[in-house]
Structure 1
């Protein structure tokens, strides 16, 4: 949403670049958006030389991801790797039904899940080369979905919370850019109209400021690669090295978060997601003791 606004400003750069006040305001907005994007766990590297259309790129990415799902399931079955098999629960049609902004995330989960075992998966149809091709496909598609107005916005930040950055972009728009732009209504109507259209979409698209993030840990500390699902949705994540996870774009309301991790008891927790805010949850799992495993 914010990217659509910035794309419009870039398109008409020659119109406003001579106005130092406008330059400063746009620079401030860009800096805030950069702060969001650089901290986004789902940030993907842009790929040069992409000639495919977005739909072609999505289809290629899905086909590559599904080939690794099939190979991964076969390997998981042969090695009794329950967690891997559970992670790769998506069908080809499941992937095709996902929204663009969710599809690349799920394909990334597939790639990350298979990666630790890829050296042993050649006989199942997956190799380091095919895994690299999948990552390249994810990168290519992710770069393309930044072009239309469906670009993801809100992300976890390091030095400030994500809601602070989002609120700051809103302030820059409403208290600065939206006021400065009025002078272009007669000077350059085309620029004015397109900017207003982009801004309207930013305001309507408030669901991008809805974030559910959390921490999964046990008595030993944060848990990496815990599987976090939002029940009755396609939302599905694995925790990072710090035990953190993040979901974007959930509608406002109540949800049940299901968490599983090796050597820990599965748990389900009710959470509430509030629009235009960051909902946070800390979930502590109970370790499975050896006595529990025996009897």
Structure 2
């Protein structure tokens, strides 16, 4: 990222944190929630594209091994919850796909690990509320798992389906910055106006997070 994009990205993260810290206030507004999800996708795409652009061959093998180890650890943690869920819901198809041992994950080839972890992510994300309330798997844990997986996948030549969904391969990093700004300017900013009068503390905190810091 260039200096201007870095400033915007820092602002995006501040906004994202503010909104997530106040979810209970705006979660009842469907269009707000929908736009927040789209905004998060743009911010994540910016991070992924910047990481990809920053990769170099020096130390790449070491870094890849380190990231694989992190993927295996986080995958194993989620496999436990998925296994329990499969057993409780009598989902034999899912149960047969799951790996619940470190050695089992270590035996997987690089592309096989990415594929397996991707299946886990695609299973958990739509049921996040259930996994949080029933199995203690927080949204931040799943997001951290996805971020690590998305960091590992390009190193082994695999294009994550999740990246395709947000068109990361078709849009420039600047394009994601512009789209994130548009979502804030045209939708979230106007939606925040009502909170100026019904929840001034939240409104002021949001306005502070929207400040570009040099």
Q: TM-score, normalised by structure 1?
A: 0.31
Whose helix fraction is larger, Structure 1's or Structure 2's? Answer: 2
Q: Which structure shows the higher strand fraction?
A: 1
Structure with the larger RCO, 1 or 2 (CA within 8 Å, 6+ apart)? 2
Question: What's the TM-score, normalizing by structure 2?
Answer: 0.42
